[in-house]
Structure 1
């Protein structure tokens, strides 16, 4: 079957689930793995029609679309994209960026129009994504060769099988493959647009190599991620073949920036979230745990006011008869005044506060590679030693949070797990960086119920030390990485609403494990708001829609702001959020202010 025999541009966009799509005379959405799908995707062509390998999609990924294009479509130029990854044709060489919709303005902005694409292919025969330095996610300093990186991320025997096929069947291409594999740059994601003759020769060579290598590759024991092996292998083959085309056939090649689609609509309606929080306050205060609950914070003196706001919100959402002990782990900087102010927040006999000083130098062995995270975060690693022996578990909470529900609801039975925590806002990427199995959900340790009894029953110090030492080159998120390695597959998952991260309230371009439904529910009905990342609510430039909740509770503490201070903060915050208008207003007013100044000077 041949489609659109007179078509000039046949650019296909891979989809495997419902979502936003773009379709015009150039771009056509295609359902990949259609042979295995439960239902057809509207407005998509299917990769299981005509000659196809659609059933191989779990291991061939977007290559099932590439094969279908090769066998079933006639065009002058072919393109392969994914529903969240496109090339920017507006300006070749533009940096990578994100987009949130397929509006006419965005299509024009990214050059997805016939005139712009035609202009690009008057100069070039092949356009691909950039060749990026090869390194684990978030570790730009750890540059590796393609071969070594594949060995870290996947089964190197699979790449070796491909190398052997190319060596035996295509000796003229083999040197280009070796040079590419042992270079430190790679074209990822199989994004490309090619002139017909180059595309067809590439497809013929690629599938001949992969089908032959497939005979020697056993994926029966792979998880769902590693089963995508032939998609991973093709990323290492594409660049090598393009180098071959450039050297032997004079192909004109360009690299275009990648634009990443971010379509999960964030919650920006803070008013609705605040109404929901207000509605759940009374039920929160009715919940009572029939035992003493232990909550732990780790701070230095600079975080004392923020910890005060967190404690005020915690106490404002628990039962009046709840037995509660708050443990404050701190370094020598926490002043007697700050301790006194924190203690003054506890006004019920059922609540107690316990200050435990931790020598900061005890953690000099560990890295400090996040400027907005203090070294106090490492105090989580000694909870099993510094808390009283009778404390069998504790809820650890970062100080940059506000409670919106009763924290005692997560005083859960940990069973045989080391901890209970919520999925992280970029957990899929972090799991891959650390080489953890997909069965483990990478968690955010800012809210974490620690099983102190289990930790005391093993050599937790050695467990943490080995988790760091054996993976130190991959550590970028400090003790959170260490805890995820140490607690791999031994962590109970909490509902996301108990660690409602900041990216739930803005576009999140990271890969995460929770669903969009979970994200929306957590953002609108949070149990705990965690102001993650460097933009904090006490910073006037913070654009989090629940900034006011932080100040509502901060003003219940001795660190409350007076009316003038609040006015100055609000004016600074308004100016930042309306900075374009503010700049224009100030430019217009500057001559008038100077004129008034001159008037007063002359009168004097």
Structure 2
């Protein structure tokens, strides 16, 4: 396991790379390979560089429902770094340098390094991926066309009952066409504490009201999807500023297939049945 390190005058940064299978990892020491959902597969071993999210204070057994969020929970509860975050094994923050991305030898060479992240944290406490733009859909209509909108309705009900000050931002995000997706983020420790302390109780309550076990494996992961939209609800309500980085997909995206599924969902009522 690679622990956060700090030297005099330098803040430590640790970013968990959530993975459910062995995969190439970034070489920069700030990245921590994290086997998510390991409690559900105790006989698997990804090697000495990986740590399981079933160690320490964890919710590893919920991975079938919470997806990469079991990794976010783990880094929140178990890392002592000054800045902590989460990315995916096939999706990372890229360097802001367009030249660096263009001339990169491979996709892993495009991934942002600790030096650049440290520079960004001189100007902000929060780093997020560039917003996704749905163009012809609102965030709410896109979710309704691709998944079950009852999950959004119940999320709003929980906010109305327990934290009504977040409802205006929820409505604003739902009516908008852009959002910070993917559950990718890096934050100063106190900001991550604040966000996770707010997020997870909402998701646990939502899970108790809509049992994920009633769905097939793909749709059972709805708590992880709902959380993607809650990030902007929290950011906007609290009024926190942030900086954005581009996203690099380690494996090429089939945009024609993805675009067709997007249009089929909107115009033909075909729900998503698999990730892209």
The within-5 A match list for 1:97-112 is 100-102=106-108, 106=109, 109-112=110-113
What is the DSSP-based 3-state SS (H/G/I as helix, E as strand, rest coil) of the residue aligned with 2:165? coil
Equivalent position of 1:130 in the other structure: 130
The counterpart of 1:209, out of the listed 197, 202, 212, is: 202
Name stretches of at least 5 consecutive residues in structure 2 with no aligned partner: none
Q: Which ranges of 4 or more aligned residues in structure 1 deviate by more than 6 Å? A: 94-99
State whether structure 2 residue 267 is matched by structure 1 residue 261: no
State whether structure 2 residue 18 is matched by structure 1 residue 14: yes
The counterpart of 2:83, out of the listed 66, 72, 77, is: 77
Maintained 8 Å contact 1:11/1:28: yes
Q: Given the superposition, is the C-alpha separation of residues 430 and 100 from structure 1 closer, same or farther in structure 2, using an over 3 Å criterion? A: farther
Q: Given the superposition, is the C-alpha separation of residues 208 and 425 from structure 1 closer, same or farther in structure 2, using an over 3 Å criterion? A: closer
State whether structure 2 residue 44 is matched by structure 1 residue 39: yes
Equivalent position of 1:229 in the other structure: 222
The within-5 A match list for 1:305-320 is none
State whether structure 2 residue 176 is matched by structure 1 residue 183: yes
Cα distance in 2 for residues equivalent to 1:258 and 1:98: 14
What is the DSSP-based 3-state SS (H/G/I as helix, E as strand, rest coil) of the residue aligned with 1:65? helix
Q: Given the superposition, is the C-alpha separation of residues 95 and 170 from structure 1 closer, same or farther in structure 2, using an over 3 Å criterion? A: farther
Q: Deviations over 1:354-379 (max 9, x none)?
A: xxxxxxxxxxxxxxxxxxxxxxxxxx
What is the DSSP-based 3-state SS (H/G/I as helix, E as strand, rest coil) of the residue aligned with 1:194? strand
The within-5 A match list for 1:272-311 is none
Maintained 8 Å contact 1:100/1:262: no
What is the DSSP-based 3-state SS (H/G/I as helix, E as strand, rest coil) of the residue aligned with 1:40? coil
Equivalent position of 2:264 in the other structure: 434
Cα distance in 2 for residues equivalent to 1:28 and 1:263: 23
Maintained 8 Å contact 1:98/1:260: no
Equivalent position of 1:68 in the other structure: 74
Shift of 1:201: 0.5
CA RMSD of aligned residues (A): 3.0
The counterpart of 2:94, out of the listed 79, 83, 88, is: 88
What is the DSSP-based 3-state SS (H/G/I as helix, E as strand, rest coil) of the residue aligned with 1:14? strand
Aligned pairs, number: 263
Q: Deviations over 1:158-217 (max 9, x none)?
A: 111111111111122221111111111111111111111111100010001101111110
Question: With CA pairs under 8 Å and 6+ residues apart, which has the higher RCO, 1 or 2?
Answer: 2
Cα distance in 2 for residues equivalent to 1:206 and 1:252: 18
Q: Given the superposition, is the C-alpha separation of residues 18 and 232 from structure 1 closer, same or farther in structure 2, using an over 3 Å criterion? A: same
Shift of 1:25: 2.4
State whether structure 2 residue 64 is matched by structure 1 residue 58: yes
Shift of 1:101: 4.8
TM-score normalized by structure 1? 0.40
The within-5 A match list for 1:466-481 is 473=267
What is the DSSP-based 3-state SS (H/G/I as helix, E as strand, rest coil) of the residue aligned with 1:111? coil
Name stretches of at least 5 consecutive residues in structure 1 with no aligned partner: 135-139, 265-423, 436-470, 476-484, 486-510, 513-604
The within-5 A match list for 1:391-406 is none
